Amino acid sequence: MMPEEFTEAVREANRTALSRLGSSKSLYADTMGDMDTDAVLGAAADAEHHAAETYAAWAESESDSAVAKAFETTADEERAHYETVAGELDGHEPGDDPPAIQEYLRSLDATVERLGGFVGRTLAADESKGQMTGFFVGQADTGTAQTFRDMGDDLDAQLERALDLLAERCESEGDWESAQEAASGAIQAAYEEYTERLEGMGVNPKPVC
């Protein structure tokens, strides 16, 4: 399988979930209905912090040195994202409970599965960054909107990094299948949390057509 085929397969298998994670209701779920600027920034900062923690832990435990280096690079990027977003807040402290997607990723041990999960998380995060950008455009805060666009550019580089490594590490169809299952697992973990949060607030998670 080619990397482009892999990405398309993951997108197709999770089309509904990714679409809804990229909707305005996703931001509402992330903030538990509190849509003021500080709440949105706080939710974004928490997400970046926990992603950095996941990738840093992977870098420490990964036996494949090239993959470990990629995880370390990504952890540094996510940590920089956190510091940038948290810098917009007054004394932000990240929450103790990681998002469901990070809990899922931290359950992965095999290199190919982690790389697949990396792809899934990146695709889900890209949807979130789009919503963050749109929110701050709507607030006429062009500087913060551009910050989230720049983070989206970093996600493009992360996706390419993960796919290049997958192409080198997947030696059989079974490897690609394991990677795809992990990618879908990450996306579905985020989607299930999105659904549970909205339903808990009495909001229909399906878009209104």
Using one digit for the tens of pLDDT, what is the confidence trace for 72-82?
Answer: 999 999 999 99
Inside any domain, residue 16: no
How many angstroms from the chain centroid is the CA of residue 198?
19
Inside any domain, residue 185: yes
CB 19 within 8 A of CB 206: no
CATH number at residue 154: 1.20.1260
For residue 44, which of 182, 136, 157, 143 has the smallest C-alpha distance? Answer: 136
More confident site: 117 or 24: 117
- Domain span at residue 178 reads 3-11+26-200
Domain total of the chain: 1
Look at residue 167 in the predicted model and tell me its pLDDT: 95
Inside any domain, residue 33: yes
Residue 183's identity, in one-letter code, is: A
Q: What is the DSSP track for 13-51?
A: HTHHHHHHHTSHHHHHHHTTT--SHHHHHHHHHHHHHHH
Please tell me the pTM assigned to this model. Answer: 0.95
Q: Which residue has the tokens 């993951």?
A: 10
Inside any domain, residue 164: yes
Using one digit for the tens of pLDDT, what is the confidence trace for 78-117?
Answer: 999 999 999 999 888 988 899 999 999 999 999 999 999 9
For residue 19, which of 127, 129, 120 has the smallest C-alpha distance? Answer: 127
Banded pLDDT at 3 (limits 50, 70, 90): confident
Inside any domain, residue 145: yes
